[in-house]
Amino acid sequence: MLCPYCRNTDSKVVESRSSEDGATIRRRRECMSCHKRFTTYEKYEERPFLVVKKDGSRQQFDRNKILMGILRACEKRSVSSEVIEEIVDSIEAELKDLSEREVSSVVIGEMVMDKLRALDEVAYVRFASVYRQFTDLNSFISAIDQLKGK
């Protein structure tokens, strides 16, 4: 670690503390040359991944898009914001566990629909109507019949 005072690269760790969420480590260091102390922070590097859209274009993953879609689907339903946050967190964690650099938007959409189907049937149908681009009443009836069958 480079000393901010004398630019020496030799230092020793005097104290280490983990942050509350465990994602960051704070280290107090002492320069072996000038003996001054300074603080460094270590954070694990997250690998961003891309979402491959239906048209083939690629975008960086944005959890807010999932959050907003679920919020719209759950509008005026008895689903708490904490539950919605948990769903988004679990989807994001599942996507990171895939260890793929690129994920299809279809995979993400299906994950959201699976979570909503288990949570609230009305929210599921609302989300599915936008995601699957229902164009007529028969599309709605088909989705509801599938829901009834399961």
Query: What residues form DSSP beta bridges with 59?
Result: 51
Residues 49-64 pLDDT 10s:
899 998 999 999 999 9
pLDDT digit string, tens, across residues 61-85 = 999 999 999 999 999 999 998 999 9
Is residue 30 classed as helix, strand or coil in its secondary structure?
strand
Residues 38 and 75: their CA atoms lie apart, in Å, by 49
Mean pLDDT of 89-117: 89
pTM: 0.63
pLDDT beyond 80 at 89: yes
Q: Which pLDDT does position 116 carry in this prediction?
A: 92
CA distance 88 to 95: 11
Pick from 44, 57, 55, 45: nearest CA to 102 = 57
Q: What is the DSSP letter of 40?
A: E
Domain residue ranges of the chain, discontinuous segments joined by +: 11-43, 50-149
Contact 11, 1 (CB under 8 A): yes
Q: How confident is the model at residue 140 (pLDDT cuts 50, 70, 90)?
A: low
Q: Does residue 7 have a pLDDT over 90?
A: yes
